[in-house]
Structure 1
Amino acid sequence: MTLPARPPVPALAVMAVIAVLPFGGAVSIVLSVAFLAMALPAAIALWFLVTDQRPVPASLLLLGLGLGVVTSLVAAAGGVNPGEAVIRVVIACIALGYAVGIAMAHRPGFEHGGLDLLVVMGGCVGAYALSGAGALQAAAGGWVVDGRLTGPFSQPNELGIFCAGLLPVAVTCLVTARSRARTVVLAVATSSIVLAWVLSMSRGAWIGGCVALVAIAIAVPRTRRLLRRAGAAAVATCVLALVLPTGVPLLGILGTRLRSMGNTGANEYDARPLIWGEAWRQISDHPWFGVGPDGYRVAATDSVSTVSAYGADHAHDLYLTVLVERGVIGMTAGIVVLAGCLVAGRRHLLAQAAAARVDDQESAVLSARSLAVLAGLLAIAVHGVFDMPLWNPIVYVFTWTLLGMAIVAETVPLAGSARAAVPTVRTPQQEARTTP
Structure 2
Amino acid sequence: MPVRLPARTWSARGVWLAVATLAGMGTTLLVLVAGPLTAVLPVVLGLLPLAIGSPFWAVATFVLALPLGLVDGLVPAGPVDLVQLVAVFVVAAVVLQRVVAGRPPLRWHASAGWAVVMAVVAVVAMVTARNVPPAVPPAVALVVAVAFGLAVYSACEGWTMLRRLITLLAVVSAAVCLYSLGAAGDIQATLPGAGAVGGRAAGIFQSPNQLGTFSGLMLFVGLGLALGGQRRLERLAGSACALLSAAALLVTLSRGAWVGALAASILLLALSPRARRIVPLVVASTAGVLLTVLALAAPQLLQVLVSRAAALVDLDANPEDARPLIYQEAVRQIVERPWTGQGPGNYTVVMESADSAAPTVAVLHAHNVLLHVAAEAGLPAAVVLVAFTLSVARAVLLARRWLPEPDRDVLTGLAAGLVAVMSQGVMDFTLGNPTLLFLVWMVVGFVLAATVRPQATWVPSSADRLRSAGVTVPSPALRSST
Q: Which category of TM-score, normalised to the shorter sequence, fits these structures?
A: 0.7 to 0.9
Q: Point out the more displaced range, 220-229 or 249-258.
A: 220-229
How far the C-alpha of 1:266 sits from its partner, in A, is 2.5
Contact 2:185 2:301 in 1 (8 A): no
Alpha-carbon distance in structure 1 between the residues aligned to 2:328 and 2:347: 12
TM-score, length basis structure 1: 0.85
Contact 1:279 1:315 in 2 (8 A): yes
Q: Do the aligned partners of residues 237 and 220 (structure 1) sit closer, same or farther apart at CA in structure 2, a change above 3 Å counting? A: same
| One of 45, 55, 58 as aligned partner of 1:10 | 55
Amino acid at match of 2:120: V
Unaligned runs of 5+ in 1: 1-6, 353-362, 424-436
Contact 1:288 1:328 in 2 (8 A): yes
Query: Using CA pairs below 8 Å that are at least 6 residues apart, which structure has the higher relative contact order?
Result: 1
- Note if 1:20 corresponds to 2:65: yes
Contact 1:205 1:383 in 2 (8 A): yes
1:378 maps to what in 2?
Answer: 419
SS in 1 for 2:262: helix
Alpha-carbon distance in structure 2 between the residues aligned to 1:127 and 1:239: 19
2:432 maps to what in 1?
Answer: 391
After superposition, residues 109-188 of structure 1 pair within 5 angstroms as 109-140=160-191, 141-188=193-240
Alpha-carbon distance in structure 1 between the residues aligned to 2:449 and 2:171: 21
Q: Do the aligned partners of residues 267 and 69 (structure 1) sit closer, same or farther apart at CA in structure 2, a change above 3 Å counting? A: same
Root mean square deviation, CA, Å: 2.5
- Note if 1:224 corresponds to 2:276: yes
After superposition, residues 338-417 of structure 1 pair within 5 angstroms as 338-352=389-403, 363-410=404-451, 412-414=452-454
How far the C-alpha of 1:340 sits from its partner, in A, is 1.8
Contact 1:69 1:93 in 2 (8 A): yes
1:42 maps to what in 2?
Answer: 91
TM-superposition CA deviations, 1:262-284 (whole Å, max 9, x none): 11113221111111110000000
SS in 2 for 1:60: coil
| One of 191, 206, 209 as aligned partner of 2:243 | 191
SS in 1 for 2:316: coil
Q: Do the aligned partners of residues 367 and 298 (structure 1) sit closer, same or farther apart at CA in structure 2, a change above 3 Å counting? A: same
Amino acid at match of 1:104: S
How far the C-alpha of 1:46 sits from its partner, in A, is 4.0
Amino acid at match of 1:44: A
- Counting aligned pairs with the same residue, the percent is 26
Contact 1:10 1:101 in 2 (8 A): no
How far the C-alpha of 1:238 sits from its partner, in A, is 11
Amino acid at match of 2:211: L
Contact 1:291 1:324 in 2 (8 A): yes
Q: Point out the more displaced range, 159-168 or 333-342.
A: 333-342
Amino acid at match of 1:369: V
- Note if 1:98 corresponds to 2:148: yes
Contact 1:160 1:200 in 2 (8 A): yes
Contact 2:224 2:411 in 1 (8 A): no
Q: Point out the more displaced range, 306-315 or 52-61.
A: 52-61
How far the C-alpha of 1:312 sits from its partner, in A, is 1.5
Amino acid at match of 2:260: G
How far the C-alpha of 1:307 sits from its partner, in A, is 2.3
Contact 1:323 1:331 in 2 (8 A): yes
How far the C-alpha of 1:327 sits from its partner, in A, is 1.1
Q: Point out the more displaced range, 171-180 or 394-403.
A: 171-180
Contact 2:216 2:261 in 1 (8 A): yes
How far the C-alpha of 1:130 sits from its partner, in A, is 0.8
TM-superposition CA deviations, 1:207-247 (whole Å, max 9, x none): 11122122122212222233111343477689999xx9xx9
Alpha-carbon distance in structure 1 between the residues aligned to 2:171 and 2:179: 12
1:74 maps to what in 2?
Answer: 124
| Number of aligned positions between the proteins | 398
How far the C-alpha of 1:35 sits from its partner, in A, is 1.0
Unaligned runs of 5+ in 2: 1-51, 460-482
How far the C-alpha of 1:305 sits from its partner, in A, is 0.7
- Runs (4+) of structure 1 exceeding 4 A deviation are 48-52, 233-241
Amino acid at match of 2:457: A
Q: Do the aligned partners of residues 394 and 422 (structure 1) sit closer, same or farther apart at CA in structure 2, a change above 3 Å counting? A: farther
Alpha-carbon distance in structure 2 between the residues aligned to 1:110 and 1:364: 18
Q: Do the aligned partners of residues 91 and 135 (structure 1) sit closer, same or farther apart at CA in structure 2, a change above 3 Å counting? A: closer
1:284 maps to what in 2?
Answer: 335
TM-superposition CA deviations, 1:90-116 (whole Å, max 9, x none): 222221221111111113202211111
2:369 maps to what in 1?
Answer: 318
2:20 maps to what in 1?
Answer: none
| One of 439, 457, 481 as aligned partner of 1:421 | 457
Contact 1:272 1:316 in 2 (8 A): yes
TM-superposition CA deviations, 1:276-304 (whole Å, max 9, x none): 11000000001112111001011112201
Q: Point out the more displaced range, 121-130 or 37-46.
A: 37-46
More helix by share: 2
How far the C-alpha of 1:8 sits from its partner, in A, is 6.3
SS in 1 for 2:197: strand
